[in-house]
């Protein structure tokens, strides 16, 4: 078994090392877990935009944000026939094409929101997360790992009731 260190999770080695790195990331996020999915999205990683507000104070998403989320959702749909339930770990390495300042947490939020109802029932199931931004001018991409995760904060109840029923019961969606 390869020892998982900070250096072994870094993207040194180029695109051909993505699968090996994803396996190490899955081991680090969900030790002993046997089930995980490894997905690579090609192209510039998307980022969740700041919320926009109408004159009445209601929030809305920009068209660009909606389109990016739809593209990511379609890519996730190719790997998930139905949403996973229970606790999950999510790891993402975002290979950016330039040094533009984009927050890792906003790129993670984008992936989390795009996966709702596709890869997981609700992103509240994600009880372990890892995100890192790296530079790859020639091959921008997102390397994503989703794994089953054991946590004392049990999320197995998510997905048993429809979202509206959870809200009525006083559970935040």
**Which CATH number goes with the domain that contains 129?**
3.30.1330.70
**20 contact partners, CB below 8 Å, separation of at least 6:** none
Q: How far apart are CA 149 and CA 30, in angstroms?
A: 5
Burial 63-97 (b: 16+ CB within 10 A, else e): eebeebbeebbebbeeebeebbbbbbbbbbbbbbe
Residue at 35 is within a domain: yes
User: Rounded mean pLDDT of the chain?
Assistant: 84
Q: How far apart are CA 110 and CA 67, in angstroms?
A: 11
Spacing of C-alpha 97 from chain mean position: 19
Beta bridge partners of 138: none
Domain count, the chain: 1
pLDDT tens per residue, range 7-65? 555 555 677 788 888 888 888 888 877 789 999 999 999 998 777 677 888 877 788 88
In this predicted structure, the answer to whether residue 87 has a pLDDT above a threshold of 70 is: yes
Residue at 47 is within a domain: yes
Q: Are 128 and 29 in contact (CB under 8 A)?
A: yes
The predicted model scores a pTM of: 0.80
Domain ranges, residue 16: 6-168
Residue at 58 is within a domain: yes
For 168, the token pair is 């009525």
For 125, the token pair is 């199931």
Least confident of 9-18, 73-82, 87-96, 137-146: 9-18
Give the pLDDT confidence score for residue 173 in this predicted structure.
Answer: 44
Residue at 1 is within a domain: no
pLDDT tens per residue, range 148-167? 988 888 888 876 655 555 45
* Bridge-based pairing state of the strands 88-96 and 126-135: parallel
Residue at 161 is within a domain: yes
With a pLDDT cut of 70, the percent of the chain lying above it is 83
Give the pLDDT confidence score for residue 35 in this predicted structure.
Answer: 87
In this predicted structure, the answer to whether residue 67 has a pLDDT above a threshold of 60 is: yes
Residue at 99 is within a domain: yes
Residue at 173 is within a domain: no
Higher pLDDT, 158 or 146: 146
Residue at 21 is within a domain: yes
**Quick one: which H or E segment has residue 58?**
none
């Amino acid at each position: 078994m390869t020892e998982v260190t900070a250096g072994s999770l870094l993207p040194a080695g180029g695109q051909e090392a993505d699968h090996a790195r994803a396996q190490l990331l899955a081991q680090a996020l969900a030790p002993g877990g046997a089930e995980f999915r490894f997905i690579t999205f090609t192209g510039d990683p998307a980022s969740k935009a700041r919320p926009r507000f109408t004159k009445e104070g209601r929030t809305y998403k920009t068209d660009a944000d909606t389109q990016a989320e739809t593209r990511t959702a379609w890519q996730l749909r190719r790997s998930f026939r139905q949403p996973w339930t229970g606790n999950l770990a999510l790891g993402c390495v975002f290979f950016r094409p330039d040094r533009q300042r984009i927050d890792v947490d906003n790129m993670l939020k984008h992936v989390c929101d795009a996966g709702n109802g596709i890869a997981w029932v609700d992103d509240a199931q994600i009880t372990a997360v890892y995100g890192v931004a790296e530079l790859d001018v020639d091959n921008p991409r997102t390397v994503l790992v989703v794994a089953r995760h054991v946590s004392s904060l049990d999320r197995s109840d998510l997905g048993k009731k429809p979202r509206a029923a959870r809200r009525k019961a006083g559970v935040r969606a």
